[in-house]
Structure 1
């Protein structure tokens, strides 16, 4: 019997075809052993972000109106399809540091007075 919490991951995207596969792979590596759902919430990408994500077997949901695009709408859309105990919010060009999910869950399970945790963002040289 799996006593690990169910985790939904909402990945907001807009034209992330260069990164989305690595993002999904980094999440999947850390969700092994956890019941989970991965949702790509797309803001009407004009590249093949939605196709690449769908080919990875994750749920892809999308805005229907370009005028609805804004910074927070992707995660709001992903939240509508989320379920479980915890929600992890990511952008389509992010990768998780190894061990992040285990450390986050361990902390949150031991400290119920906390509503969430955050990681450190490191930027690649462009």
Structure 2
């Protein structure tokens, strides 16, 4: 019985899913394939079931958001280690072997960040997430040469959901992804909760995948920016960011980001998303803040503003 479950969420763009699964076929470790079709209209579920008959496939009639679809896929399995993979990722043959190694070697590690590289194969897309004092998330090492992937700065908070490994017992204890977040921010929230619960994280720079980009919602589309704004404000309220010492910096940062987005995009999608996210968190309990060592306190205000450009399309 394989000790690894690989959960893939698909929404149309079958050619991406096909490429992703074909790369998974070449893995050096055995695994269980779990696929959730998140309301596709191109026959993705049927085509996956036909091409990969051993896969466990669930089909949602409509798009319920990434978090719900991901939790649905995860629920199809029970292996000790869980790997989430976007359908727009093509991984190297030893990816699974490398990404679960930190989980196998240290019982206190609950999450592992892999190395996502850009399609040119020369630059880093991300190797996990970092966060500043306002709990703003940023992809680590983005745009840097792949030879710098092992650099320890900035601080690793945890993996991005693009392609990441988790200990299932920790995942189950925390209830998986928050399904109130339709897309953008749900992976960040999970790693914050894991760190707040006392779990360690690790990076696996030798677990390499090519990230082909944001195919589901389109880069900087109105919907993407609205979902990004929702997730940011929702988490700001859940973690009580406007009641912490960094409240003024948090509020000023958001004002600058929203105003800048409105000017560039000529709409209020980022603001509208934030209003909706703030309201959605109104009656929910506050969440514990992660320990100080999980946050990169060296990211200053100006640097954070620069980093926020384009991150989660906020």
TM-score, with structure 2 as normaliser: 0.35
The structure showing larger relative contact order (alpha-carbon pairs under 8 Å, at least 6 residues apart) is 1
- 1:37-52 residue pairs with structure 2 within 5 A? 37-52=32-47
Equivalent residue number for residue 124 of structure 1? 119
Judging changes above 3 Å, is the alpha-carbon distance between structure 1 residues 91 and 45 closer, same or farther for their aligned structure 2 residues? same
Shift of 1:89: 0.5
Equivalent residue number for residue 26 of structure 1? 23
Q: Secondary structure at the match of 1:26?
A: helix
Equivalent residue number for residue 57 of structure 2? 60
Judging changes above 3 Å, is the alpha-carbon distance between structure 1 residues 31 and 75 closer, same or farther for their aligned structure 2 residues? farther
Q: Secondary structure at the match of 1:98?
A: coil
Once superposed, which parts of structure 1, at least 4 consecutive aligned residues long, lie more than 4 Å away? Answer: none
Shift of 1:107: 2.1
- Note if 1:99 corresponds to 2:94: yes
Q: Secondary structure at the match of 1:121?
A: strand
Residues 13 and 40, structure 1, Cα contact 8 Å, conserved in 2: yes
1:86 to 75, 81, 87: 81
Number of aligned residues? 119
- Note if 1:114 corresponds to 2:120: no
Give, in whole Å, the separation in 2 of the partners of 1:113 and 1:46.
41
> By percentage of residues, which structure has more helix?
2
Judging changes above 3 Å, is the alpha-carbon distance between structure 1 residues 124 and 48 closer, same or farther for their aligned structure 2 residues? farther
TM-score, with structure 1 as normaliser: 0.81
Give, in whole Å, the separation in 1 of the partners of 2:10 and 2:46.
12
Q: Which has the larger radius of gyration?
A: 2
Q: Calculate the aligned-residue CA RMSD, in Å.
A: 2.1
Equivalent residue number for residue 168 of structure 2? none
